[in-house]
Amino acid sequence: MTNQAKKRLWKRRLSRVGLYSLVALILIWTLAPFTWLFLTSISTQAKLNAIPIQWLPNPPTFEHYLAMFDPANETGKLFLAAMRNSLLIAMTTTVVCLIIGVPAAYALSRFVFPARNIIIIAMLATRLLPTVALVVPFYIIIVGYIDPVVGMFDTPHNLIILYTSFIIGLVVWIMRGYFATIPRDLEEQAMVDGATRLEAFWHIVLPLTVPGLVTTGLLAFLLAWDEFLLALIFSRTPNAFTMPYFVFIVGSSQYYQSPAAVAAGGFLAALPPVVLALIFQNRLVSGLTAGAVKG
Amino acid sequence: MLEFLKAHFWHPLTHVEFRINRSDRWFAFFSLTPALLVTILVVFLPLLYALYLSFNKAEVMVVGGRGSVQTEWAGFNNYLYFLKDKSFWQGVRVTLYFTAVSLIIELVLGIIVALVLNQEFYGRGVVRALLILPWAVPTVVNARLWGLIYEPQSYGAMNGLLQSIGLTSPDNAINFLTSVPVFQSVPILGQITSWIGSTSAINWIILSDTWKVIPVVALLVLAGLQTIPIELYEAAEVDGASAWQSFWLITIPMLRPMLLVILVYRTMELFRVFDILYILMAYTVPVVAIRTYQEAFAFGLFGRGSAIAFLIGLFILLIAMVYINLINWEED
């Protein structure tokens, strides 16, 4: 082997080493904090207070997880209520947003009519408007005017309605993009053959957009699951409070027990979205590319 | 270059070929009405109400579970109060600092990570799949998680890490989340950081917030990178361009639409930051969202709260307009 060739070989090996070290660095940085959350959650108090720091719990304990699922336990009661509320609220919000948003998205992608562009921009605006700009009027309307007539404050349906306000725009916006990729000829052909618009939409267009519906529904679910500010203001009791609210109070109020309990609660709150995201990783990235959603 | 934006964000009227007929008109009406009603009732009317409230002194009395609202016309007093309030402007500066620094870190590191992932290496698919994890962690959990890491005792993870590599000693655990501006010992820099509000706490929180966002920015940029035809790079190489030159002359211009979208969305997300700062710092980092919450729900001053809320809403909508115009302008 000539000197030149040797040099080139070494250069290539070196750049491979560099590449793999960078990848390792990225991977460690991405996974380490979440791993620490899990390690904390299975630690005893003695391990958590050890100096110098003890990285791995030895032996691990699952008592904090068991406590979460124990209805007789004070924290467990709150956790189970929060989990139930979060599932109920996030799933209902997703379904409501899809039922209302998908037909609207279809109409906006297919028909020309006056004010069409204004509606599109208004939908985008609802997506972009920060929740904090709406909480004050929401609070006054709900506490001052609606609650004295029908119970609203601290109920799941209140949160579902409010969550719809910022998720519907996302659904319309992303689904409009998906409908735009479906060729019109398909429906037109069906309608020439005697199908109505509704039939063409239901039997031909909608089945073709199932991947889009799944992605959009998933994003809507994740957004609803993640929401904190509205849950903080509009829930007080296990009647309506959600997982983020639970993770908040379990770490900083009279419910506080130990860092390990906070970590266990946090880990369980993160589990459903993390598992969903890992399973549907590819779909989510394409959905985010289409809607460039949340951060 | 604009295919991406055109395909996903803008469908000019000219692209719609067929006209709306009578039966379609009813279909359109029924499919749009629910979405429009919801949007008007739950977004636009409350926003107008916030505008009305911002000109009033508003109080909510809750007696025996029944609330009542008292309003008293106050003109521009709520707005004037903030214009004259030094701590409000401090809050605006902190918000801008948080937004700008996070944005730069997210974009630069996001692009670097994407470039690394665009190389071929063993296990690339798995690494890419795992990158979505931080984004899926709810913001509240993210706050709690970093709260544990920044524990101001020797058994906290960050302190433990610094001690393991010998940077600090176990007797002097660092309190990361303090409200002391950084670089106080450096003469001019120390004054600048105090003026901006660049405290130790906010800088460490920027690190935790960017942890959640960098991977997803990287995945989006990676999706963009993979649409760039390889021929462009080959042609550049034939012409003798260095890797650095083809990055600035091919990669960045081709990613422009994608970066623009990320930039605008992230600006709006960052400007409204609330969860992580409220959970870790309560009211001590006065970003605009926290100030709004504090005025309305801690002090019960709903008129003032509405005034800031409306200003934030207006500001965000302005950015949105700029963004929509940019896309239109690029299309012409």
| Fold designation for A66-291 | MetI-like fold (1.10.3720)
For chain B, state the CA radius of gyration. Answer: 25
User: Within 10 A of B45 (CB to CB), how many other CB atoms are there?
Assistant: 13
Q: Which of A222, A216, A186, A30 is nearest to B109 (CA)?
A: A30
The pairs formed by A47-51 with CB atoms below 8 angstroms and a separation of 24 or more are: A48/A258, A48/A259, A48/A260, A48/B155, A49/B155, A50/B155, A51/B154, A51/B155, A51/B170
pLDDT at B17 over 70: no
Average pLDDT of the residues in A273-293: 81
Quote the tokens at residue A175.
Answer: 């689904």
Query: Looking at A67-71, A74-78, A123-127, which range is the least confident one?
Result: A123-127
For residue B62, the cross-strand partners are B67
Cβ within 8 Å, pair B265-A293: yes
The pLDDT value recorded for residue A55 is 83
The pLDDT, as a whole number, for residue A13 is: 85
| pLDDT exceeds cutoff 80 at B20 | no
Residues 157-176 of B with CB under 8 A from A: 157, 159-161, 163-164, 170
Q: A81 at the B interface (CB within 8 A)?
A: no
Residue A4 has pLDDT above 70, yes or no: yes
Tell me the CATH number for domain B86-300.
Answer: 1.10.3720.10
Report percent pLDDT > 90 for chain B: 41
C-alpha dist (Å) from residue B26 to A24, A108, A196, B22: 58, 14, 12, 7
Of A291-295, B75-79, B131-135, the one with minimum mean pLDDT is A291-295
Place of tokens 């021929």: B231
In whole angstroms, what is the distance from residue A209 CA to residue A110 CA? 15
Query: Greater confidence, A34 or B1?
Result: A34
pLDDT of residue A125: 80
Contact of A267 with A37, CB cutoff 8 Å: yes
* Residue matched to tokens 């997210």: B106
Question: Is there a contact between B228 and B250 (Cβ–Cβ < 8 Å)?
Answer: yes
Q: Is A148 on the interface with B (CB under 8 A)?
A: yes
pTM of the model: 0.90
Q: Of A210-219, B64-73, B252-261, which has the strongest mean pLDDT?
A: A210-219
Residue B1 has pLDDT above 50, yes or no: no
Average pLDDT over residues B21-39: 88
Nearest to A275 by CA among B137, B159, B310: B137
In DSSP terms, B170 is beta-bridged to none
Report the alpha-carbon distance of residue A190 to residue B263 in Å, rounded. 42
Of B212, B199, B254, B262, nearest in space to B231 by CA? B254
Task: Write out pLDDT tens, residues A83-95.
Answer: 999 999 999 999 9
In the 8-state DSSP scheme, what is residue B71? E
Task: Establish whether the linkage from the previous residue to A59 is cis, with ω within 30° of 0.
Answer: yes
> DSSP of B178-221, one letter per residue?
--PBS-TTSHHHHHHHHHHT-BHHHHHHHHHHHHHHHHHHHHHH
CB B220 within 8 A of CB A288: yes
Structure tokens of B164?
């393991």
pLDDT confidence band for A150 (50 / 70 / 90): confident
Assign B162 a pLDDT band (cuts: 50, 70, 90): confident
Contact criterion met (CB below 8 Å) for A127 and A166: yes
Work out the burial of residue A282: count CB atoms within 10 Å of its CB; fewer than 13 is exposed, 13-18 middle, 19 or more buried: middle
Amino acid at A144: G
- Count how many pairs of residues, chain A against chain B, have C-beta atoms within 8 Å: 331
Helix (H) or strand (E) holding A284: helix A281-291
Q: What's residue B329's pLDDT? A: 57
Structure tokens at A15: 């750049």
| Predicted confidence (pLDDT) at residue A132 exceeds the cutoff of 90 | no
Contact B313 A141 (CB under 8 A): no
Q: Using alpha carbons only, what angle is made at residue A135 by residues A134 and A139, rounded to the nearest 5 degrees?
A: 120
Residues B134, A30: C-beta atoms closer than 8 Å: yes
List the domain boundaries for chain A: 3-41, 66-291
Task: Report the mean per-residue pLDDT for chain B.
Answer: 85
Measured over the CA atoms of residue A221, residue A227, residue A232 and residue A234, the dihedral's sign is negative
Please give the average per-residue pLDDT across B300-325, as a whole number: 82
Can you tell me whether residue A117 is helix, strand or coil?
helix
pLDDT at A121: 80
Tell me, what's the pLDDT at B65?
Answer: 62
Report how far residue A83's alpha carbon sits from residue B136's, in angstroms, rounded to the nearest whole number.
17
Whether the CB of B64 is below 8 Å from some CB of chain A: the reply is no
Look at residue B332 in the predicted model and tell me its pLDDT.
47
Q: Which of B53, B139, B144 sits opposite A262 (nearest CB)?
A: B144
Lowest mean pLDDT among A50-59, A78-87, B259-268: A50-59
Of A113, A166, A226, the CB nearest to B20: A113
- Tokens read off for B232: 């462009």
Q: Is the pLDDT of residue A294 over 50?
A: no
Q: What is the pLDDT of residues B204-250, one digit of tens each?
A: 999 999 999 999 999 999 988 988 898 999 999 898 888 889 999 99
DSSP one-letter code for B294: I
Residue A35 in contact with partner chain B when CB distance is under 8 A: no
Average pLDDT over residues A252-277: 90
Answer whether residue B259 shows pLDDT above 50: yes
pLDDT band at B19 (very low <50, low <70, confident <90, very high): low
pLDDT-wise least confident of B31-35, B107-111, B310-314: B310-314
Report pLDDT for B169. 80
Each residue of A16-72: pLDDT tens digit? 899 999 999 999 999 999 999 999 999 888 788 777 778 888 788 898 899 889 888
In the numeric block, which tokens belong to residue B66?
């029944």
Closest CB to B154 among A51, A103, A122: A51
How far is residue B237's CA from residue B191's CA, in Å, rounded to a whole number? 48
**Spatial distance between the Cα atoms of A83 and A246, rounded to a whole number of angstroms:** 9
Judge whether residue A289 has pLDDT over 70: yes
SS3 B60: strand
Which residues in chain A touch residue B42, judged by CB atoms under 8 angstroms apart?
Answer: 161-162, 164-165
Read off φ and ψ for residue B192, nearest 5 degrees.
Answer: -65, -45
Q: How many angstroms separate the CA atoms of B162 and A24, rounded? A: 20
Residue B56 CB neighbour total at 10 angstroms = 20
pLDDT digits 0-9 by tens, B58-75: 888 776 666 778 888 888
Q: Is B304 on the interface with A (CB under 8 A)?
A: no
What is the SS3 assignment for B322?
A: helix
Do the Cβ atoms of A44 and B149 come closer than 8 Å?
no
- For chain A, how many residues are written? 295
- On the 0-12 / 13-18 / 19+ scale of CB atoms within 10 A, A241 is buried
The model's pLDDT over B116-138, given as tens digits with 9 standing for 90+, comes to: 999 989 999 999 999 999 999 99
CA-nearest of A127, A220, A228, A38 to B43 is A127
The residues that bridge with B69 in the sheet, in sequence order, are B60
